[in-house]
Structure 1
Amino acid sequence: MSTCNKPIDAMTKSAEIPDCYYPKEPILVTPATPTPARTLYLSNLDDQKFLRFSIKYLYVFRKSVAVAALAAALSRALVEYYPLAGRIRAGAGHDGEKFELVCNGEGALFAEAFADLTADKFLQGARRPNRSWRKLLFRVEAQSFVDVPPLVVQVTRLSCGGMILCTAINHCVCDAIGTAQFLHAWALLTSKPNAHLPVNAFHGRCLLKPRSPPRIEFPHPELSSPPPQENLAQFLLSQPLVAVSVTFTTAQILHLKQQCVPSLKCTSFEVLASHVWRSWIKALDPPASLRIKLLFSMNVRKNLEPELPPGYSGNGFVLACAETSVEELISSNTYYAIKLVQEAKSRVSDGYVRSMIDLLEERRVKPDLSSSLVISPWTKLGLEELDFGEGRPLHMGPVASEIYCLFLPVIGDLHAFTMLMSVPQGIAETFHHYCSKDLDDTENGIAENGGGRGYNKN
């Protein structure tokens, strides 16, 4: 049954969870055997300022796995993924702005907790994260980002015999593909301690070093700010944010593709990215002349010449950029938006990626977020298939909802997507309406021009 036509309050209801009890102090889990002691170069794709945060995953399992077994398997996994047991520090040059990774085997932080909560009770309110979910990930008291271990884990045992597993993985060390690779290795070594990993991790980042001299051969609109204008970022941060979640079934995605006239062959990601972008802009209702962008993370491991090695665990993605005006995006049909997404993808060649790396070497620029929607897909990575020996998860998602958009896998349906993002409270219902309005036989009762359209300055 579709969730798309339910009222926003029912869709987003998420109950507070109780406090966690920690029976013992967290420990540092170190690699089971000696690992290379070296300083690892971080590429300009790793070391971008906007990646200085941790990717936080939350898993709910029906049956718990012994904490000692999880810690022992983590220790074995860290032999292969030893950078996660190291520490980030400021490197020489760039006025201390560039980071490097010291592989010293200091260890990952591992916390064990208990919560008076059942898996079913959690799942009843799991359509969107709320602030209380942060209790499920141990808070490291640190003065700065570099003082937090690259890997932090909390295993919370539940009163029903299940468990919630949360991980925080430093984005400068791994991207989503690298984190998925590590998590699957850890799960495999938990369920089968003597197993051989199917893919060896590749940690060398020098394959993505800048050229000498740097050659910036392409325009990079994803990193360049537009001329002064009204910008959406100010409005997006002017109100409390509300998480909005919509699940798109296989049939609904096919329906969106069929609406594309003239006919256009496209992927599920392309049609959903276009649909969510248009829905977001319709809900915000900015001035028609405003230039807007869609930025989305794109894996470039196979776009490079030569391709990055299998098992490459560092950041192997760039932000592709589609750009247009509000008027053009809204007045045109889905075909137009999908073509913009496809053209953005087609521009990301080996030369384009090298040019971006060189630009980041010359200028420590950030992505242009002034009037941009950012989409990060967590689909097609097998994150929902993680099995530590007691079955696959009942739920997989982030610990918190952010202002950027996530495409999440749907447990039990390989071809469905869940869209999750936080938007200003005043447009939450309208955004949800536009995301879902043509997907069911009945509307959810929100008028085409109604409710919460707070941005329009005209």
Structure 2
Amino acid sequence: MVTFTACRSRPEVVVPARATPQEVKQLSDVDNQRDLRLYVTFIEFYRRRVVGVPEPSTASSIIKAALAEALVYYYPVAGRLRELPGGDKLVVDCTAEGVVFVEAHADVRLEEFGTPLVPPYPCVDELICQVGDLRAVVAKPLLYLQKTEFKCGGFALALTMCHNIVDAFGKIQLLKCIIDLARGQAVPSVLPSWERHLLVSSAEAASESYQAHNNAKSSPAETPPMMLEEMVTRTFLFGPKEIATLRVSLPARLARSATVFELITAAVWRCRTAALEHAPDERVCVVFLTNARGSWKRDPPLPPGFYGNAVFTTIAEAVVGKLCGGPLTYAVELVHEAKIRMTDEYVRLVLDVLARGERYVNVALDKAFIATDVSRSGNHLMDLGWAERVGGGGSMAGDIVNRLTSAYMSCKNAKGEECVMVPISLPELAMERFASQLTAVTKELARSSL
């Protein structure tokens, strides 16, 4: 894998292009989770349509200007987080102090990153702003953006943001706003909406009711021995052929109803569990993050442009022996049943629990596969006009939970087919077993469907 060191400029502070409201913004109960006090990064890679046009310095100026204009619409992002007395709740002081922009250069060509361009990205830390302690978020900039220019004329944009302000969908929405403005649009395609009060509990918390509704057992969230080993990351592509193979192995009823996410998640969970060689009588789980923007039928609904945290966690559990020894059908059904548990009642119960400052999901990380699907976030909308997007997604870098969370993204394989890319981080030996398991299961399902 190619190695390089980025030559970074001094960090610049970018403030909103025009005057913005000076006020205090309340966060939602979902935003205020202590586990979200960290910075997370998305990286997008671009190839210029005409080499050298615009010049690197001009391109940087365009992006900085677009960032400043975007902060007029997303002005809370230019503020700072402040703790309320007691330390459990945060608010945003909309001070217009600004965000951080760094320009960097790397002596490497975009094609050296591989095709398709998927995690793990070489020397990923060289592409990302240095933000210090990733879990210290109070009184710091809420957004860091590094543009890294490559010697071929391509470049990377790495957006690092405080998770208390945005989830993955909100971060993508803000990045699209910057891209819209850098492309020359007068206004962003989607106007932002704060409306965090819609995700604030209106009742006393009821942990017991939540646990009864969500059948997963809680256990302390500690760093297990496997996390102390050196982790490796690989990305696995699921294209039309792989999806069809998984689907055709299911009974007709389930084959018709199962989503692509359910198929992939069930297969990866099963193979990952086998690769980690847990004892047959141990319990493992898959934890996946469901976007309430489209699935929560509340009144009023979350408005278009909502960019706060609106992702809720649901869990499916299984005994290792039954999960790995049974058919794929069993795993798909468990994932499907967990997904449909995210009802209005479920969301209300979660908000009640969060309002008391409690965790609503505590799992042992070595026994949990964490997945989220952002594959339909609209990669084609990331086009700059003067530069085309050629890849990108989660960085799989930084905090251990970030590295263990598989964010499904879309990409094209060597044949030009649309695929779902699934990045996985595991200890090295477990990764070898996982890849073998996935290949073996796919071949076995293909044979059984003949």
Q: TM-score, normalised by structure 2?
A: 0.87
3-state SS of the aligned residue for 1:392?
strand
Contact 1:301–1:308, Cα closer than 8 Å, also in 2: yes
**CA–CA distance in structure 2, aligned partners of residues 47 and 414 of structure 1:** 40
CA gap 1:141/1:291 in 2 versus in 1, 3 angstroms: closer
Equivalence map 1:339-358=2 (5 Å): 339-358=333-352
Q: Which residue of 2 aligns with 1:377?
A: 373
Q: Which residue of 2 aligns with 1:446?
A: none
**CA–CA distance in structure 1, aligned partners of residues 42 and 374 of structure 2:** 11
Alignment gaps of 5+ in structure 1: 1-13, 444-458
Moved over 4 A (4+): 124-127, 220-224, 412-415, 440-443
Contact 2:37–2:163, Cα closer than 8 Å, also in 1: yes
The equivalent position to 1:98 in structure 2, one of 89, 98, 102, is 89
Contact 1:40–1:204, Cα closer than 8 Å, also in 2: no
Query: Are residues 1:57 and 2:42 paired?
Result: yes
Contact 1:292–1:323, Cα closer than 8 Å, also in 2: yes
**CA–CA distance in structure 2, aligned partners of residues 359 and 280 of structure 1:** 31
Equivalence map 1:118-157=2 (5 Å): 118-123=109-114, 126-129=117-120, 132-141=123-132, 144-157=136-149
What is the identity percentage for the equivalent residue pairs of Structure 1 and Structure 2?
A: 27
The equivalent position to 1:72 in structure 2, one of 65, 71, 74, is 65
Q: Which residue of 2 aligns with 1:278?
A: 270
CA gap 1:253/1:403 in 2 versus in 1, 3 angstroms: same
**CA–CA distance in structure 2, aligned partners of residues 100 and 363 of structure 1:** 15
Residue by residue, what CA displacement relative to the aligned partner does 1:279-326 show, whole Å, maximum 9, x if unpaired?
A: 111111211221221110101123141121111110111011111211
Shift in Å at residue 407 of structure 1? 1.4
Shift in Å at residue 30 of structure 1? 1.1
3-state SS of the aligned residue for 1:282?
helix
3-state SS of the aligned residue for 2:293?
coil
Contact 1:50–1:367, Cα closer than 8 Å, also in 2: no
The equivalent position to 1:422 in structure 2, one of 425, 431, 434, is 425
Query: Are residues 1:247 and 2:248 paired?
Result: no
**CA–CA distance in structure 1, aligned partners of residues 174 and 417 of structure 2:** 21
**CA–CA distance in structure 2, aligned partners of residues 99 and 363 of structure 1:** 12
Q: Which residue of 2 aligns with 1:202?
A: 193
User: When you count helix as a share of all residues, which structure comes out higher?
Assistant: 2
3-state SS of the aligned residue for 1:154?
strand
**CA–CA distance in structure 2, aligned partners of residues 397 and 411 of structure 1:** 13
Contact 1:123–1:395, Cα closer than 8 Å, also in 2: no
**Paired residues, what number?**
422
Equivalence map 1:183-198=2 (5 Å): 183-194=175-186, 196-198=187-189
Q: TM-score, normalised by structure 1?
A: 0.85
CA gap 1:317/1:202 in 2 versus in 1, 3 angstroms: same
**CA–CA distance in structure 1, aligned partners of residues 2 and 215 of structure 2:** 37
Shift in Å at residue 410 of structure 1? 0.8
Shift in Å at residue 334 of structure 1? 1.3
**CA–CA distance in structure 2, aligned partners of residues 135 and 366 of structure 1:** 35
Contact 1:248–1:416, Cα closer than 8 Å, also in 2: yes
Shift in Å at residue 383 of structure 1? 3.8
Most deviating of 183-192 and 142-151:
142-151
Shift in Å at residue 131 of structure 1? 6.9
Contact 2:232–2:425, Cα closer than 8 Å, also in 1: yes
**CA–CA distance in structure 1, aligned partners of residues 191 and 230 of structure 2:** 44
**CA–CA distance in structure 2, aligned partners of residues 210 and 61 of structure 1:** 42
Query: Are residues 1:40 and 2:25 paired?
Result: yes
The equivalent position to 2:77 in structure 1, one of 54, 72, 84, is 84
Contact 1:180–1:382, Cα closer than 8 Å, also in 2: no
Equivalence map 1:97-116=2 (5 Å): 97-116=88-107
Q: Which residue of 2 aligns with 1:31?
A: 16
CA gap 1:441/1:118 in 2 versus in 1, 3 angstroms: farther
Q: Which amino acid aligns with 1:20?
A: A
Q: Which residue of 2 aligns with 1:434?
A: 437
CA gap 1:149/1:42 in 2 versus in 1, 3 angstroms: same
3-state SS of the aligned residue for 2:241?
helix
Shift in Å at residue 111 of structure 1? 0.7
Most deviating of 206-215 and 347-356:
206-215
Residue by residue, what CA displacement relative to the aligned partner does 1:107-135 show, whole Å, maximum 9, x if unpaired?
A: 11001111111111233695532572111
